[in-house]
Structure 1
Amino acid sequence: MEMNTQYQYIKLLTIAGSDSGGGAGIQADLKTFSALGCYGMSVITAVTSQNTCGVRNILGVQGNHVASQLDAVLEDLPPRAIKIGMLHRPEIVEIVSEKLQALNETPIVFDPVMVSTSGDPLITLETVELLKEKLFPLCDLVTPNLDEAETLEGFPVRNKKDMEEVGKRILHYGSKAVLVKGGHLEGNQVFDVLCQRGGKITIFKGEKISTSNSHGTGCTLSSAIASFLAQGKNLEEAVREGREYVRNALESGKEIRTGKGKGPLNHFFSPIEMKKVTES
């Protein structure tokens, strides 16, 4: 007697902007979800014209269409976790926050994208205060880099002590935890500081990888953490394994030539190796 067996994907949703160059944003998120064995859905908030050399233009998606995308996904494909990236207009922050308020049991990881790897601004300044007020309280984890942490709190972050301080300050906006990423610190070591409610602070460290192929690193890390949370890992485990995935993706991708500027990391270092092309 044959039995019908139904399998269920581990589903994740990314709410972010599109990167036409394929290295960051929605594209990086979906690649990461797939590489880690999950099924990715997407809500696109903006469409960028960019490549490895920089961002040329940003076209915001109309608010009613962002809302429609969210409704369509949430009604039929409930995610195990949600990753949020670029929300560059107040209207979009309002819509996303309102739609996600009912998802109390779904882990939400927010990467507050404000500046691209190439230094191009990706968010309007008037949106920042609304993010703090509306979105942060819904998040299980917020993952600012040093520049984003400085924008949020208004003071320079130069070392681990500064990272701990700014992480604790950002916690006051209501998220359950903050991961301050220290990839831009001087020196051969990389430090990331995880601050959680209740005062617990965990410091992750590793050797810095020398590579120009780092485009999309923040998007990839937050997506990897969301993937591991969806798989049932606790927060510290998800951060640790997410960092390891990014480290391997950076290491395996540092010799791959993609474009003329800062290339992406290698999302598919395992189990799929990207083909390397040697130019004559």
Structure 2
Amino acid sequence: MANEYPQAMTIAGSDSDGSAGMEADMNTFLRRDVYGMCVLTAAVAGNSYGIQASTAMPIDFVNQEFQSIADDFKVRSAKTGMLAGSAMIKTVVENVKKFDFGPLVVDPVIITKHGAMLLEEDAYQTFKELLIPLATVITPNYFEAVKLTDMEIKTDEDVKEAAHKLQKMGAKNVMLKGQHQDPDQTEVRDFVLLEDGKEFWLSEPYVNTDRVNGTGDTLSACICAEIAKGVDIETAIRTGKTWVTAAIANPVEVGHKFGPVNLVKK
């Protein structure tokens, strides 16, 4: 019967070197045994050295992408990635409300894991006010959590407070990712706050490598894929954590500088 196979959708930008964005999401969907489709919001020309150019998709085209997918497929979960600007965020919000694409995993893509801002301030405010309340799961990195909650995060108690703040903004389930900054660290700890109030830490060994492009995309896409298969939110988050750690720990040597995590099927 048509549309019985689990389907997941990414709403994201294309990264031409395949290490992040839509390409990382689609590779993850494939690895997690779901059929993936995409709404393309932007395109980036880049490689392992950096980004050389980027462009946003026309809003009318993005609206048609949503309509075309809704007219034919049964998307069981969706995720967001790079949304390019305020107008694009508003367009995504309108379409997510208009169509039933299942639970929404929001990967903020506001600030890089190194602290560089990716959105203009007006787009950031739009994201905070309109998109976060639609999130079934939100997966901010440390810097994004600091920005979104407008607080310093230094202790475990700070992390918990930040997660609760994000939940009060409307996100049902929060996975606040730990830092990957210190080469002397031995573990990466993420804090999870579920909709029912349950909270816990997830810890995996720290891997000192520069092959980490696409970690956030891969994690959120894995969670999205698991949800599409009918897995409960807690299990989906736990699976995402262990799976992305394995992808980092077993690097694939492509590119000359900052390479991708390993999404090559073995």
TM-score range normalised by the length of the shorter chain? over 0.9
Q: Distance in 2 between matches of 1:74 and 1:221?
A: 25
Q: CA deviation at 1:229?
A: 0.9
Larger Rg: 1
Identical aligned pairs, as a percentage?
Answer: 31
- Give 3-state SS (helix, strand or coil) of 2:250's partner: helix
Deviations along 1:3-39, one digit per CA (max 9) or x if unpaired, are xx77832111000011111100000000000011111
Q: Is the 8 A contact 2:167 2:173 kept in 1?
A: yes
Superposed CA RMSD: 1.9
Residue of 69, 73, 76 corresponding to 1:77: 73
Matched, 1:181 2:177: yes
Deviates most, 38-47 or 104-113: 104-113
In structure 2, what is the equivalent of residue 192 of structure 1?
Answer: 190
State the 4+ residue runs in structure 1 displaced beyond 6 angstroms.
none
Deviations along 1:129-185, one digit per CA (max 9) or x if unpaired, are 111221111110010000111121222323432221111111111111111000426
Q: CA deviation at 1:117?
A: 5.2
Residue of 225, 235, 256 corresponding to 1:227: 225
In structure 2, what is the equivalent of residue 87 of structure 1?
Answer: 83
In structure 1, what is the equivalent of residue 135 of structure 2?
Answer: 139
Q: Distance in 1 between matches of 2:2 and 2:25?
A: 26
Matched, 1:106 2:96: no
- Give the structure-1-normalised TM-score: 0.88
In structure 2, what is the equivalent of residue 21 of structure 1?
Answer: 17
Q: How does 1:56-75 map to 2 (within 5 A)?
A: 56-75=52-71
Q: Distance in 2 between matches of 1:12 and 1:234?
A: 15
Report how many aligned residue pairs link the two structures.
264
Q: How does 1:208-247 map to 2 (within 5 A)?
A: 208-247=206-245
Task: Name structure 2 gaps, 5 residues minimum.
Answer: none
Q: Distance in 2 between matches of 1:115 and 1:50?
A: 18
- Give 3-state SS (helix, strand or coil) of 2:148's partner: helix
Q: CA deviation at 1:102?
A: 4.1
- Give the structure-2-normalised TM-score: 0.93
Q: Distance in 1 between matches of 2:3 and 2:149?
A: 45
Deviations along 1:230-269, one digit per CA (max 9) or x if unpaired, are 111111100111111111111111xx3211211001112x
In structure 2, what is the equivalent of residue 278 of structure 1?
Answer: none
Task: Name structure 1 gaps, 5 residues minimum.
Answer: 274-280
Q: Distance in 2 between matches of 1:52 and 1:102?
A: 37
